[in-house]
Amino acid sequence: MRGVATEEHVPHTMSRMGDVLAGFHAAWEFESDSVLIRYERGIRTPKLFQALGERRVPLEAIAGVTLTPGRRGTVVLRVELRPGADPLMEAAAGQLKEGGDPYRLVLPAERETLAEYYADELRAQLTQSGAADEFLVGAPDVPLSFKAYDGKASFDGENVRFRWFWTGASSAKWKAGDQSFAVAELSGVEWRSPEVFEGHLRLLRRDAVDDRTAQVDHDPAAVVFGLGYGPVHESLPFAAAVLSAVRDRSAGDAAVPAAAVPRRDPADIAERIRHLGELHQAGLVTDEEFSSKKAELLAEL
């Protein structure tokens, strides 16, 4: 029978799996080959945790375990993952704030003895160290989508699509048109937290020169974040899912052409032509560019 571990109920060995150690915002369930982290739902639980729902962490993905004093009468139990073991943390690249780390379990200080027991038992079972050759923790499930400042990003497991917003997208992105990238075209993902200046998500393409110094608001392979747009709990799982799909492809796979953008609703085409006309009248689009782009849009009917 599974139960919540307490000071009075300390299992004699980690072979008795199914015990649950509950803390603030999450509970860890210890299984024979993994730790299952279930996140609470509530207004005080970080939105990233709620979006993830749960994370199953294989023991082979864990490099170490720490137990440290926390704030205001708490202790913090944390599993340190091996580099390259989790697509979420690889995409985050150290940008998550302490309170947003999904592998920290905050507990009342009076439960320190119990937390220390589990930390010791976990350490005794760890056999792997160093960078992992592949992702060992599962990626967030697809389909996924979120609204950035200049467009909507969506991912179905095979293709990443960017649909530009006329209220936010630059003229360069409007000229390029909506974008679709097959996973096989990509070599990676660059995620910069929306909580910092110039936050964005940029797709790195196999057949393109690596130019990550280019302005993201002009790059058709990137979406720009802004206040309230592309929040961490939406954009980071998205980046992790794309990164995992890219890594799952064989290194020897040949790049394939981008999937064609589906034919759009006539009303959508009309709206885009109207906006293109506004750009043309404002002098942001030349006569030649206007005629060319208008012809492209009409061809999609």
Q: pLDDT tens, 162-196?
A: 999 998 999 999 999 999 999 999 999 999 999 98
Q: Has residue 282 got a pLDDT over 80?
A: no
Instruction: Judge whether 20-125 and 144-262 match in fold.
Output: yes
Place of tokens 């980071």: 236
Express as a percent the part of the chain with pLDDT over 90.
68
Mean pLDDT along residues 69-92: 96
**How large is the average pLDDT for residues 113-119?**
96
The predicted structure's pLDDT at residue 265: 62
How do the domains of the chain map onto residue ranges?
A: 20-125, 144-262
* Per-residue pLDDT, 126: 94
Residue in 214, 218, 239 with CA at minimum distance from that of residue 95 = 239
- With cut-offs at 50, 70 and 90, classify the pLDDT of residue 252: very low
Residue 82: the pLDDT is: 97
Q: Is the pLDDT of residue 224 over 90?
A: yes
The domain made up of 144-262 has a fold known as PH-domain like (2.30.29)
pLDDT of residue 258: 39
pLDDT over threshold 90, residue 85: yes
pLDDT of residue 281: 77
Calculate the average pLDDT of the chain. Answer: 86
* DSSP designation for 137: S
Mean pLDDT of 42-51: 94
The matching CATH number, chosen from 3.40.1350, 1.20.950, 2.60.40, 2.30.29, for 20-125 is: 2.30.29
